[in-house]
Every structure is written in C-alpha cells, then in structure tokens.
Amino acid sequence: MINITDLQRDAITESINISMGKAASTFNSMIQEHIALSVPKINFVSSEEALDILQLPEEKEVCYIKQHFSGTYFTSEAMLVFAQDESLELVKLFLGEETSVADMTTLEHEAMSEIGNVLLNACIGSLSNILKDRISGTLPIFRKCKAQTLFLNERKEEVILLIFVDFGIESKAIKGYIVLILELDSFIKFKEQLLKNLMG
Amino acid sequence: MLPVLTFQDVLGNIPNGIIIIDENSKVLLWNSWMESYSGISTEKALGTGLFTLFPELKEGRIGIAVNTAIENSQSSFLSHTIHKGIFPLFIKHPGETEKIRVCQDVHITSARQDNDTYYAVIIIEDVSVAVIKERMLKERAREEHELNEKLIQEVKERKQVEKELRLSGAVMKATMDGVVITDNKSNIISVNPAFGHITGFSTENLINKKISILKSGKHTKEFYKNLWRTLTTEGQWKGEFINKKPDGKLFTVEASITSIKDNTGATQNYVNVFRDITKRKKDEELLRKLSSTDPLTELANRRAFDEAFEREWRRGLRHSHLVGIALIDVDFFKRYNDFYGHPAGDKCLQQIADILKNIIKRADDIVSRYGGEEFVVIFTQNDPDGIFKLIESVHKDIHELKIPHNNSNTSKYVTISSGISWVIPDSKHSAEQLLEAADKALYEAKEKGRDRIVVKPFSE
C-alpha cells in the first residue's frame, strides 16, 4: 500500500529537486557561500521504520524545524531534521559563528527556523505543483529532542515521506532530512492525486 | 459590555508592526507601530504598493515571501540573525541622538478572504532588546568561558606543581642524602629526615634557623667566598664541607648546592643536597696509611720513603737546605732470626723502630723501614752534627735495651750499624747519589766491625 512505483518515485524526486534548486538560490542570496542542494532519494516508510532508515540512534540529539501544511488532498506535519553536529555546520555558515547546539541561542534557533522554512516551503511548493493544489503552511517552529521521540506523538496510522537532502557546501556535505508525516487517509488521497497527475 | 473599538484601536496597541497587503501588494492595513517606526503615516501608506514604499525589498526575500504567501498560502519566516533589519525601520532611544535600525523578525503568512482572494499578513517583531540581551549574554558567556579556561589552566598547572612537589617530597623523604632548602638569606625553610640523621640536629627546630648553625669553623673565608662566587655565576657548587654536629663532633659531607631562580632570574632558594662522607674519609685515610705504612713497625714503608725522599729532595733543591740520610742496619740480624726465630726477630725490629720513633720526632724527619732489617731516616731540619747526635742516641738506646744476641760477633746484645751522608741538593746531583753515599758509609761501618756510625760526605 505504501509502495509506489519507481516511476512515481522518480517523478516526485525530480520535482522536489527542481524546487530545491529554487531554495538553494534563495540561500545563496542570504549568505556569501554557495550552497548546492540536492535530493538524492525519497522513501515512503512507516513511522517504525523511519529511524532505521535515517540511521539515527535513538538517543541521538537532533533538532528539527516543523511546519504544518494543509491542502485539499492532504495535511501533514513537515519537519526538517538535522543531527546535531551537522546542523552546527549550517548555523556556522549562516551566522558566521562557532556554536554548539546546547549553546544555541533563541536568535540562532530563529536562523535555523528560517533555513528550515525556506526548504520546507520549497519542498511543499513542488508537491503542490504536482498535485495542482494550494497547500497552505504555518510558520516554522524550532525544537530539539532525542531521535526516538521524533515520531512518537503521532496517534494514528501514518505514512512517512522521507526526503533526503544534501547540502553541498564547499567540500563539506551536510545531510538533512525532510520528513513529511501523512495520516493514512491523507496519504491515500495524496497518492491517488499523484498518480492521476503523473499519468495524466 | 465591550467597548466599541475599531480595528485600528486594537492593532494600534499591539507592540508589533502589522501590514496587510493584497495580491497586488497594495497596503490594506498599516498599524500605528508601523507609522512610528517607518515614519510613513497610515494615511500615506494605505492604498500604496508595499514595494512603492520600499522598492529595495521587491527582489529580495520579502518579495519572494509575499509572493509565496499570496500564490501558495505558505508562511515565511525571516530572522534578524540572517537579515539584520530587513525593513528600513528606525527608532530613536531617549538620550540618543542617532536613530538606529530596528532589529526585527518578520513573519509573513497568508490570509484568505474568499475562494480566490488572498492577502499577505506581515508581522514585524522588534527583537532589539532580545538582540542586545543576547549579545550581552554571549559576551558574558565568552568572558566566563575565557575565565573558565584560565582557571582550568591554572588548576592544571597547580596540580602539576603539586604532583611534582608530592613526588619530590617523597623523594626527599626517602633519600639517604640530606636535603636542606633555604631562602635566599640562608634561612632554612625545609629539611628532610636524612638531614636530621646526618647532622644530628632535630629537624623540627630547624625551620627559620640560619644554615650556618652547621658551620665547623674549619673553612677559611676564602673558601666561602669562592663557594658563593661559583654559586652566583654558575648556579651550582659542588664540593666537600666539614660541618659540626650539635655535640661538637665534626663530620664531612660531599655537597651539591643549587640556586633556584624565579622567572625574573632572581635567586629565591638554595637547595643543598649532601651526603655524609666522614666514614669514607676515614676509610680513605686508613687506606692511604695502609698503603704507605709498614705493618710490622708502623713506620713508613719503602714506597712512602721513596715518595718522601723525592719530595724532600726537590724541596731542598728549591730552598737550598740540607737533606741528610741515615741508613741503619741491624748487625747479624739473619743469625738472630735463625737463632731466636722469626717472631723474636719481628719483636726486635719493633723495639728498634720504637726507639727510632722516640728519638726522631720532628714532623719533617721521616723514619722508614727500608728493607728486612734496614731502616732509613730522612733529615731535613738538622745540621750534620745534629744528625750524628740523633743517630748516636739511637745507638745508645739500643745498647741500653740489651736485647740478647748470642750469635753476634760484636756483642752479647743486638747492635746496629749506621751510615750517614748529607748534602744541600743541587742540579748536578741526584737523590740516588745521596742514598748511595749513605749506603757506602753503612758499608764502611760494617767493614770496620759494626756497631758504629760512619759519616761519609756526599762529595766523595
């Protein structure tokens, strides 16, 4: 049921990659460094599988930027997740300062929020293009937690769309993950509409 | 009953900038916060395009975010940390002459009136206070961090020093060497247990006493002057000291004194490590004595004689004073030995040696056992007459001893023969020649019937 065909997967990946290009140019207008953004793959998984696939140890500290999106075909909690040490590289890049996640200040959280906001908007924007639907989004919030609690508070049966994001900054490769949590009926509608639009 | 408030009444009291624009970016709402911070009146703003009011914002993040809100209903967040006051809003704080740009976070969301009409709601939050507070906090954190690092470093260094002190303390305690540390005024500030064992002083009462309590008075001023000079110029002095115990006993130490300088190069302390070599000194003395003494008679042995003769000859040469030699031989001693046995022979030699020691007492005159029954005396302080008289006394005393000698051809008692010669050394002659002359004299004494003294001048 979760499965989609390779063709569908490729189509979504390509579409998201295009919008990531836009997000990258937004980033590049914000900072001096050149950032290349790419989405090498996407995966539809269950919430139980997600951590394994993200290869995140349960105790690992992560930070995420979260927005709620809703459209005609689906509503979703969308998160951009960084494992701590990697997110620091981004903070350093945007703020030009050394810091640690523990020491990150409110204003630094806000900077991360903006980074996440640009990415999540771009990502949802591309889905909204495929679905030919207006998907509205709330303002981002920034949180820190242990990896194991990332998917805990979801009550219903869900499907998670994992979008792997590579931030290419000079020689460094920072990995982030966009996580779209879709309730099952959302996913079904999403998939139907996706198939219709991709095939049609 | 709720008071009748206008939209503006409510929004005017919100401490944030609020702008609502339509899909053509035309300003529909401009609250009083915006008025006061932008300097643009609500009257002027309303109905005007946002990018007419702020043309520089159209192509940037604000332009994109407004577009995203209206086209896609997506919300955007622009943080001050990244954009540093994106709207040209200014505030003049009381007491300040310059207006400053407002630190701001910008939230842009979409609002929808009906199915096809969307608006963008722009909320601008003044985060100046937060920014200042955070800057202060960061500064403080940085200072604290630096202070911490400094403290950690200091603690580390202190621990290292403590560790070294503990180690050196353990070494000081365990070592057999005496260790005394003084300040630069020679006051004792620390001693180890071995110090007490060696010096005989009780270590508890030594602190703040002068190190000179150990002084024996056996060293000259020159010695101390030399010591301090070496210590000052080279930072270390090594040598031997004669010290005094509380009970007045002297003891000799081999000491190494090192000066400890502070980082300005000024001497703060002296560390004196020493070991008691009194016993070693005694052993050395004994050894020296053993190697130069004839065990039977306790007179100087042949080797000691050779050294002394050589030395005295040179001295005589230098000072042009007389050096005399007397060779003394026991008459018919082989027969005595054969008849009375070796122990008796030895006893006889000891008795003769004692007489020699008794008569020839001057420190510079050296009596030696030259060979089996032959003795030799070096005279350096006597004239020829004096020499003769001394040897004559020896003969007399031996006569008086009356050691029986049944196998002697000359007497019933033990007798001796002596040959004397003397010279004031000069470069034309050698010590050996003087000895030969004395030997000839002795030979002559034997030839003439023994029990007599023959003086042979050196020149012949």
Give B163-175 pLDDT, tens digit per residue. Answer: 887 877 777 787 8
Tell me which chain A residues have a C-beta less than 8 angstroms from the C-beta of B72: 121, 125, 128, 134-136
Residues of B in Cβ contact (< 8 Å) with A108: 81
Predicted pLDDT at A84: 64
The predicted pLDDT at position B2 comes to 57
Interface with A, mutate which of B23, B56, B71, B72 (most A CBs under 10 A): B72
What is the least distance, in Å, from the CA of B130 to any CA of chain A?
8
Instruction: With CB atoms and an 8 Å threshold, state whether A29 touches B60.
Output: yes
Q: Which residue of B has its CA nearest to A105?
A: B134
Residue B357, CA distances (Å) to B293, B350, B438 in order: 14, 10, 20
pTM (predicted TM-score): 0.55
Place of tokens 């007459």: B385
Identify the pLDDT of residue B353.
93
- Residue-wise pLDDT tens digits, A43-82: 888 877 887 888 878 888 888 999 999 988 888 889 988 8
Q: Is the pLDDT assigned to residue A102 strictly greater than 70?
A: no
More confident residue, B126 or A158: B126
Asked whether the beta carbons of A19 and A39 are under 8 A apart, the reply is: no
Q: For residue A42, list its beta bridge partners.
A: A163
Q: At what angle do helices B278-292 and B302-319 cross, to 10 degrees?
A: 90
Residue whose structure tokens are 């006893």: B347
CB pair distance less than 8 Å for B68 and A121: yes
CB-nearest partner of A137 from B74, B130, B138: B74
pLDDT-above-90 percentage for chain B = 36
Chain A residues closer than 8 Å to B64 by CB: 26
Cβ within 8 Å, pair B81-A138: no
Distant-in-sequence, close-in-space partners of A115: CB < 8 Å, separation ≥ 6: A27, A65, A80, A90, A94
Residues paired with B265 in a beta bridge: none
How far is it, in rounded angstroms, from Cα B218 to Cα B198? 18
Cβ distance of B77 and A107 shorter than 8 Å: no
The per-residue pLDDT for range B100-145, each reduced to its tens digit, is 888 899 999 998 877 778 899 999 988 888 888 878 887 887 888 8
Query: What is the C-alpha to C-alpha distance for residues A163 and A159, in angstroms, rounded to an integer?
Result: 13
Query: In a 3-state reduction of DSSP, which class is residue B112?
Result: strand
Cα gap A189→B58, rounded to integer Å = 37
Q: How far is A63 from chain B (nearest CA, A)?
A: 17
Collect all residues of chain B within an 8 Å Cβ-Cβ radius of residue A136. Answer: 72-75, 110
Distance (Å) from the alpha carbon of B142 to chain A's nearest alpha carbon: 11
Residue B109: closest CA among A137, A177, A51, A17? A137
**Which tens digits make up the pLDDT trace of B277-317?**
888 888 888 887 778 888 889 898 888 899 899 999 999 99
Q: Give me the residue from A121, A124, A136 closest to B76, CB to CB.
A: A121
Enter the DSSP assignment of B243: E
Interchain pair A30, B82: CB under 8 A: yes
- Chain A residue numbers touching B111 (CB-CB < 8 A): none
- Rounded to whole angstroms, the Cα distance separating B229 from B63 reads 86
Winning range, highest mean pLDDT, from A84-98, B45-59, B124-138: B45-59
- Across the interface, of B74, B131, B138, the residue whose CB is closest to A124 is B74
Largest CA distance in chain B: 166
CA-to-CA distance for B420 and B325, rounded, in angstroms? 6
Would you say residue A21 has pLDDT above 90? no
* Model pLDDT for residues B325-379, shown as the tens digit of each residue: 999 999 999 999 999 999 999 999 999 999 999 998 876 788 999 988 999 999 9
Q: Give me the residues paired with residue B417 across strands.
A: B329
Question: B69 near B108, Cβ under 8 Å?
Answer: yes
Query: Given an 8 Å threshold on Cβ–Cβ distance, is B77 in contact with A140?
Result: yes
Q: Say if residues B201 and B184 touch (Cβ distance below 8 Å).
A: no
Residue among B186, B251, B180, B183 nearest B224 (CA): B186
Contact list in B for residue A31 (CB cut-off 8 A) is 82
- Shortest CA distance from B104: residue in chain A: A107
Average pLDDT of the residues in B162-189: 84
Q: Which of B64, B80, B109 sits opposite A107 (nearest CB)?
A: B80
pLDDT digits (tens, 9 = 90+) for B81-97: 888 888 999 888 777 78
pLDDT band, residue A13 (cuts 50/70/90)? confident
- ipTM (interface predicted TM): 0.83
| DSSP β-ladder status, B453-455 and B416-423 | parallel
Q: Cα separation of A120 and A106, whole Å? A: 20
Task: Report CB contact under 8 Å: B77, A138.
Answer: no
Contact A105 B134 (CB under 8 A): yes
Among chain B residues, CA nearest to A137: B74
If you average pLDDT over residues A91-100, what whole number do you get?
Answer: 67
Strands (E), B289-448: 323-330, 366-369, 374-379, 416-423
Would the CB atoms of B74 and A135 count as touching at under 8 Å? yes
Contact A114 B79 (CB under 8 A): yes
Nearest to A87 by CA among A169, A5, A19, A150: A169
The residue of A72, A103, A139, A142 whose CB has the most chain B CBs within 10 angstroms, and thus the best one to mutate to test that interface, is A139
- Burial of B192 per CB tally in 10 Å (0-12, 13-18, 19+): buried
Q: How many CB atoms lie within 10 A of CB B174?
A: 11
Are A105 and B60 inside 8 Å of each other by CB?
Answer: no
B105 chain-A contacts, CB cut-off 8 A: 110
Say if residue B419's pLDDT is above 90. Answer: yes
Query: How many other C-beta atoms are found inside a 10 Å radius of the C-beta of residue B209?
Result: 15
Residues 6+ apart with CB under 8 A from A147: A51, A54, A56, A57, A58, A59, A60, A61, A62, A83
**Cα B446 to Cα B373: distance, rounded to the nearest angstrom:** 14
User: CB distance A125–B74 less than 8 Å?
Assistant: yes
Residues 99-138, chain A, touching B (beta carbon < 8 A): 103, 105-108, 110-111, 113-114, 117-118, 121, 124-125, 128, 134-138
Average pLDDT (B235-250) is 89
| Inter-chain residue contact B72 with A121, CB threshold 8 Å | yes
